[in-house]
């Protein structure tokens, strides 16, 4: 599909940061219905994306965030991403389930 603009990603993250949406996403794997809601809300911002595009972007952002986060946890500062702080505010609290987190 066409490239996501900064404003589009910001809008997606804003919707994603809604506690209600987060709870729904955390509780399910079959999330088409949730991303249909997300797409509908994006349309209110004048952003035309279907649920599949929203889900793909969400997955990509989440994956990128996790790889940057784990690089940081291992002491590397070379990896970074554009919306890290915004995503950290959403995803930072639900730390990766695999591997117990030790404070060093």
pLDDT digits (tens, 9 = 90+) for 77-96: 888 899 999 999 998 875 44
Q: Do the Cβ atoms of 68 and 79 come closer than 8 Å?
A: yes
**Overall domain count for the chain:** 1
- Please indicate, yes or no, if residue 101 is contained in any of the structural domains: no
Among residues 51, 54, 48, which one has the least CA distance to residue 14? 54
- Please indicate, yes or no, if residue 97 is contained in any of the structural domains: no
Among residues 59, 45, 36, which one has the least CA distance to residue 8? 45
Q: What is the Cα–Cα distance from 64 to 79, expressed in whole angstroms? A: 10
Q: How confident is the model over 23-46, as pLDDT tens digits? A: 898 877 789 999 999 999 999 999
Segments forming the whole domain that contains residue 55: 6-91
Local structure of 87: helix, strand or coil:
helix
- Please indicate, yes or no, if residue 104 is contained in any of the structural domains: no
Task: Please give the model's pTM, rounded to 2 decimal places.
Answer: 0.81
As a whole number, mean pLDDT of residues 51-60 equals 96
- Please indicate, yes or no, if residue 1 is contained in any of the structural domains: no
- Please indicate, yes or no, if residue 61 is contained in any of the structural domains: yes
């Amino acid at each position: 599909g066409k490239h996501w603009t900064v404003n589009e990603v910001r809008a997606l993250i804003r919707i994603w940061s809604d506690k209600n949406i987060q709870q729904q996403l955390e509780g399910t794997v079959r999330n088409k219905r949730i991303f249909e809601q997300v797409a509908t809300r994006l349309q209110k911002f004048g952003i035309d994306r279907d649920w599949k595009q929203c889900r793909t972007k969400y997955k990509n952002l989440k994956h990128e965030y996790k790889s940057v986060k784990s690089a940081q946890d291992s002491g590397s500062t070379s990896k970074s991403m554009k919306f890290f702080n915004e995503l950290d505010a959403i995803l930072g609290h639900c730390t990766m389930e695999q591997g117990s987190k030790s404070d060093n």
